[in-house]
């Protein structure tokens, strides 16, 4: 029997559900991938992006949703992982209200199995529009009871991960006087630069949109380098904060950093790249642990959002990264493998099977699952 490749890929990765959405009147074309609901309803961002093919969009959705499962599990959340990707011509251009609301309707049809959030190309405005159609959306404007843009909290989490990384390298967590190269000056990258400058780090930044990097140079006086040369910069920490697969068999031999700790999802092109970094003596802070600040922040919306409580929980990323490094040493593994084992062991230990809409046994963040707000 010849298997359909998508179903075979789902089976290999352990995905529960993939939904294809087409809405001709609005031009919406989207893929919603739900990887796991074993720990609770699946939480993950909506990514607006230009893909070379539909197959690559599906592959991205599958990889990103699996990473979200690991991220939620490692962060101690009662959530699974999912991702929505929307195929658009210009990822950073305006998205029509009708198209975004059509996506909200598609999310609503899943009955809470998928909880949407912001990702690349999405904005708080997009979340607000989806919230007109479904209660299962996070990151809406703070004036509407949401937590707003999760990017600043993601950056805070990465900073805590860097502190743990420096402690592992040098025995103390301070970033003062340490050289950090930030690849990507978008929402998270720019917020991370702000935090690093405050911490006294020596910061270099690059972005494919040079104007974004130049704006940070004007504001903070940080050094700007060409995006094509960013990975080869000599530094203590390289912080990938753009798209994934930046660490691969071609780039790893060129790295001139002591450690990698950034906000981008799926930084490793392959699992074997974790071993390649270790072989070069480069310490890797696993991306799905380091960048969990955003998902931790929006998960707080389920119990009544508190910025102070969110910041306290995001700060725990420093402890989690330290735990990963300790586990890696104890088991003789690279940190990425150790972090994945940590996450999957929790799912196996606490997982309750597939979550269904209305399941009274499911909870999020320790509280009963409820709609975040009534659909308008």
Q: What residues contact residue 279 under an 8 Å CB cut-off, 6+ apart?
A: none
83 is catalytic: yes
- The Cβ of residue 318 has, within 10 Å, a number of other Cβ atoms equal to 20
Of 83, 95, 101, 337, the active-site residue reads 83
Q: Which residue has the tokens 């995001």?
A: 314
Domains in the chain and their CATH numbers? 5-68+80-137 (3.40.50.10860), 151-341 (3.40.50.720)
Tokens representing 330 are 């104890």
pLDDT for the residue numbered 360: 52
* Cβ(311)–Cβ(150) below 8 Å: no
Residue 328's alpha-carbon distances to 88, 113, 264, in angstroms, are 40, 33, 22
* 10-residue averages of pLDDT along the chain (376 residues): 73 94 96 96 94 93 95 95 94 88 97 92 92 92 79 96 98 98 96 98 96 96 96 97 92 98 94 96 97 92 86 97 98 97 97 83 45 47
Please state, in angstroms and rounded to a whole number, the distance separating the CA atoms of residues 249 and 218.
35
Tokens representing 245 are 């697969």
pTM for this prediction: 0.88
Per the rule left: phi > 0, alpha: psi between -120 and 50, beta: everything else, 184 is left
């Amino acid at each position: 029997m010849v298997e359909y490749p998508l179903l075979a890929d789902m089976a290999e990765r352990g995905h529960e559900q993939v939904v294809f959405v087409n809405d001709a009147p609005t031009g919406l074309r989207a893929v919603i991938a739900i990887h796991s609901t074993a720990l609770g309803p699946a939480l993950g961002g909506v990514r607006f992006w230009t893909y070379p093919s539909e197959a690559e969009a599906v592959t991205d959705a599958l990889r990103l949703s699996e990473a979200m499962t690991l991220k939620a599990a490692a962060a101690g959340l009662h959530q699974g992982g999912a991702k929505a990707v929307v195929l658009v011509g210009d990822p950073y251009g305006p998205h029509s209200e009708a198209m975004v609301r059509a996506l909200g309707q598609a999310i609503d049809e899943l009955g809470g199995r998928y909880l949407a959030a912001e990702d690349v190309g999405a904005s708080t405005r997009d979340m607000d529009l989806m919230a007109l159609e479904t209660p299962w959306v996070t990151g809406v404007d703070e004036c509407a009871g949401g937590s707003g843009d999760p990017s600043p909290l993601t950056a805070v989490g990465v900073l805590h991960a860097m502190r743990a990384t420096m402690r592992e390298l040098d025995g103390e967590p301070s970033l003062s006087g340490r050289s950090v190269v930030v690849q990507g000056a978008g929402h998270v990258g720019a917020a991370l630069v702000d935090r690093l400058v405050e911490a006294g780090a020596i910061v270099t930044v690059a972005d494919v949109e040079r104007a974004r990097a130049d704006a940070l140079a004007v504001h903070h006086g940080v050094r700007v380098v060409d995006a094509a040369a960013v990975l080869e910069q000599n530094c203590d920490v390289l912080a990938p904060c753009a798209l994934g697969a930046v660490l691969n068999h071609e780039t790893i031999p060129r790295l001139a950093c002591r450690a990698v700790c950034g906000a981008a999802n799926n930084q490793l092109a392959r699992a074997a790249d974790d071993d390649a970094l270790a072989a070069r003596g480069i310490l890797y802070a696993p991306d799905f642990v380091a960048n969990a600040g955003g998902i931790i922040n929006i998960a707080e919306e389920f119990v009544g959002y508190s910025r102070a409580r969110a910041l306290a929980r995001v700060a725990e990323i420093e402890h989690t990264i330290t735990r990963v490094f300790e586990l890696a040493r104890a088991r003789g593994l690279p940190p990425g493998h150790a972090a994945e084992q940590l996450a999957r062991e929790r799912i196996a230990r606490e997982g309750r099977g597939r979550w269904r809409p209305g399941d009274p046994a499911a909870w999020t963040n320790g509280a009963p699952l409820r709609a975040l707000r009534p659909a308008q």
